[in-house]
Structures are given as C-alpha cells and as structure tokens.
Amino acid sequence: MLTNKVFLLSGILLMCLNCANQRSNTEKLRKNIENIISRTEGTIAVAFEDLKTGDKLFINDKIQMHAASTMKTPVMIEVYKQASEAHFSLTDSVLIKNEFRSIVDGSKYTMDFGEDSDDVVYKNIGKRMSIHDLVYQMITVSSNFATNILIDLVKAENVMSTMKTIDANKVRVLRGVEDIKAYESGLNNTTDAYDMLLIMKAIAQKRVVSPNACEKMINILLQQKFKSKIPALLPSTVKVAHKTGSITEIDHDAAIVYLNPEHAYVLVILTKGIKSHKHAQKTIARISRMIYDVVFLG
C-alpha cells in the first residue's frame, strides 16, 4: 500500500515538474520573441497553440490588420461548405470572365495580370475551369483572379457567416481583390492573429464543414508554393499546411505545422509596417524556428 502511494506521489511530482518546465520554456520563448519584436520596425502579432499539449502563446494577437491573402482560406472553407450543401459540385465548371463589380457603387473593374501571382486563370479567359481547380490556384499560388471568381460564386457575406460558427468574429471578408474604390473607401478585408488561429485550428481538428472536407483542404494547403515564411527554417521532414499573405508593408503566414501524424501545432504570424518584404519574411521564419525548437526539443 505504501509502495503504491510512493509511486502515485512520484507520478504527481513528475507531472508538476513537467508543467513547470513547460511554463518556463513558454515564458523564455515569449521573452525571446518580444525581444525580436522590440528591435523590429512595425507590428508583429503571434498566435500559437500546440494541439497535443494545449500550450499557447499570444502576442499582439488581437490587433486588427489587413488580411491580405490569408482571407483566401475562409473563402476556401465557404466553397467546401456550399459544395457539401449541394449548391454545386467541386467538379462543376465556371466560365472565366475578367469582369467584376466594386462593392462601393457596382461599377465594373478588371483584374491586372501584372498584379497577380498566377497566369493559369488568365490563360483560361473565355474558357471554363472547375471550381476545385480555382480553389487550388487561389490557395497554392494565391491567385487573385481565382479568388474573385469564387467570392462572386459563394458571396462574401456567407464567408463571414461561416466564420462566426467557429467564433472567428473579427475576420472581415468584404470583397474581392483589386477593388480600388473599396480600398480607397477603407472597405478592406481584415483579421487578427487570434481569429486566424481559430480558423486554422478548426481545419486541423476537422471541425468545420466535415472531416472529409477538412482533409481535402489540408491537402491543398500542404501544396502551398510560397515557403519563405513559417516553413523556411524548419526541417524538410516537417509538413506545413499554410496560407501566406503579402501586400505593401504587410506579410503574413497562417499554418498548421505537423511534427508527425500525432503531433501538430497551429501558428499564425502577422506583420505590418515592415518596409522590406525580405526582412519581414526572415523575421517570420526566425520566430517560427524558435517556436519549433521549443515544441520539438523542449
């Protein structure tokens, strides 16, 4: 009986020591990241949650920023949601037209090929592409053209309604890309790091739309072509399902990081006011590696 009590007390003591070590590591990590932030121009927001241990770290996570292309992940979720409700099939095709309307006054505008990171959709003007292929282009190469077509299909207000179901209430998807009149009127797509973490976490835990839909969305996010931010300094064995965003003085990345099939964490790093994209990307990559080292090495 006494032996059992000793083992029990030893186990409790070990758990307490582990918890204390985790708190100590998290606090050291916070200080190190805050030190980087204090020496960097602009604003950096970090939201982190280990989906296995529950460890969390939030810095400037409630600061609203222009969402840039991170808003394309909520659009993808809405596409899969409406497909699950049989509004359309992902294999359905749509006619590719370079004609959109401003949310300000309904006036027409067109997409500028020079402002986009994708040429596939432009090559298909006047032809048809599947909804799935448009989602793929929107996420993997951040096609603005594909994004606008899909927002016209599912409607921005529906995207925001779906985000509210996962408590991402601060995410605003008001419009497509390159709506200059809306931009000049201050009608922008915005987010904070915390809500973007909620979105990526819902996908990772397969709690939005359906587990099968989440698997498919994760597979697309894993094929992201732009890898200069969160994945940049991580080992090649680590899988990263993520969506980047970048406009003038804005650089973001929102990711699910898979250390192995049983251990993943969600990391969102948003920046604004850093004039050099290269510097912003290197800073995001450095913070990402610091978090990885704490999670993986302890």
Instruction: Using alpha carbons, select from 196, 205, 181 the residue that is nearest to residue 255.
Output: 196
| Confidence (pLDDT) at 117 | 76
Residues facing 250 on adjacent strands: 247, 272
Rounded CA separation 188/65 (Å): 10
Are 16 and 8 within 8 A, CB to CB? no
Are 240 and 265 within 8 A, CB to CB? no
Name residue, tokens 């949650």. 49
Rounded CA separation 244/19 (Å): 33
Rounded CA separation 191/71 (Å): 8
- Say whether 227 sits in a helix, a strand or coil: coil
Structure tokens at 50: 């280990």
Write down all domains in the chain, each with its CATH number in brackets: 37-297 (3.40.710.10)
Rounded CA separation 197/216 (Å): 19
Instruction: Give burial (CB, 10 Å; 0-12/13-18/19+) of 206.
Output: middle
Query: For residue 176, what is the enclosing H or E element?
Result: none
Q: What confidence category does residue 12 fall into, taking pLDDT thresholds of 50, 70 and 90?
A: low
Per-residue pLDDT of 170-209, as tens digits, reads: 999 999 999 999 999 999 999 999 999 999 999 999 999 9
| Confidence (pLDDT) at 207 | 98
7 has pLDDT over 60: no
Sequence-separated (6 or more) residues with CB below 8 Å from residue 151: 75, 159, 173, 175, 176
Instruction: Using alpha carbons, select from 226, 225, 214, 255 the residue that is nearest to residue 238.
Output: 255
Per-residue pLDDT of 68-102, as tens digits, reads: 999 999 999 999 999 999 999 999 999 999 999 99
Per-residue pLDDT of 233-292, as tens digits, reads: 999 999 999 999 999 999 999 999 999 999 999 999 999 999 999 999 999 999 999 999
pTM of structure: 0.91
Structure tokens at 161: 């309604």
